[in-house]
Amino acid sequence: MKAAQTNKTLRDKDVAGLTAEVKELQKAHFGLRMQKATQQLTNTALVGNARRDVARAKTILAQKQAAK
């Protein structure tokens, strides 16, 4: 995911939507880690990208929760 597109779509969501998005991204990250561990993943850069996507979503979620 591109960072600018991700930030825009994440900032449009409410807290409940962001929480669901974080869980979904974490599941995707876990799946990629398992694929890497079993040597089924050919593009290992996807693991880092997924980790950054989780961090982006968590950051925006924390900002929205602090704004309340």
Sequence spans of domains, the chain: 3-67
pLDDT band at 5 (very low <50, low <70, confident <90, very high): confident
4 pLDDT above the threshold of 90 = no
Which tens digit of pLDDT belongs to each residue from 19-64? 999 999 999 999 999 999 999 999 999 999 999 999 999 999 999 9
Neighbours of 39 (CB within 10 A): 7
d(CA 42, CA 7): 27
Rg of the Cα trace of the chain?
A: 13
68 pLDDT above the threshold of 70 = yes
User: Which CATH code is given to the segment(s) 3-67?
Assistant: 1.10.287
Q: Decide: 53 and 6 in contact? Cβ < 8 Å.
A: yes
